[in-house]
Amino acid sequence: MKTRILLLLIFISSYGFSQSVNDYKAVVVPLKYDFMKTENQYRLATLTKFNLNKAGFEAFYVNETVTDDYNRCDLLYVDVVKDNAFLVTKLYITFKDCYGKIVFTSAIGKSKTKEYDLAYSEALNQAFVSVNALNYKYNGTKASVTKNNQSSVSVAPVAVTSNAVVNTVVNNNDPNLLYAQPTETGYQLIDKTPKVVMKLMKTSRPDSFIAIKGDIQGSLNAKDNEWYFEYYQNDKLVSEKVVVKF
């Protein structure tokens, strides 16, 4: 009885989410997942993109240039997560929107194979079975909603609290605008291509982050309702304004 109820809940959940993924035009694939040591280790990025295409999605690697036909909120952002288990490789897939909200989570793919290449490939392919079951087909609704709102100015300033990030007023048409996507340790800032420009790690203060931009490490600090990336170069403090939407 419990098994039947569980299966019913999974079916209802998958059906509801299948209506959501159809709102997005394409999927962005990272080259490296959190549990990987190097880019495309075990060919997981390649396999992810291949399986997405097979499931009917248009997919781009995160370092590819996306045409202006795509707004960043037209896109889903895929992630592969490793579930810790003894003697078994377990992977599952998540799709997130442009604000980091999970739109769909796949079933867990498993493999008992001892060889890493085969185990990760087998587990990932198994996880994609539930993605294929979505029968994805873009319905065109998300793009029209997003683009109609692009010219507006947001976000209103909010009070600083211990649990809130300091938001600032930003212009969505600013060519230098970066968008914050939540990560396990903080955020990553992406541009409209989308490309990861900066990585942020949380501190005890909502108005300050440890920031890494390429080979430069510094901090991102809020001052007078604006964000600044600050670091030392040749023993001199450099402060660069960053337009970011959290």
**Which residues make up the CATH 3.30.160 domain(s) of the chain?**
2-141
The reported pLDDT for the residue numbered 63 is: 85
Digit-coded pLDDT (tens) for 158-184 = 333 334 566 677 777 788 889 888 887
216 CB-near residues (< 8 Å, 6+ apart): 231, 233
| Mean pLDDT, all residues of the chain | 80
Fold type of domain 2-141? Double Stranded RNA Binding Domain (3.30.160)
Confidence band, pLDDT 50/70/90 cuts, at residue 68: low
On the CB side of 49, CA atoms within 13 Å amount to 14
Residue 40: left if φ>0, alpha if ψ -120 to 50, beta else—which one?
Answer: left
Cα-based angle 157, 163, 165 (whole degrees, multiple of 5): 35
Query: 9-23, 129-143, 155-169, 201-215 — which is least confidently predicted?
Result: 155-169
Overall pTM > 0.85? no
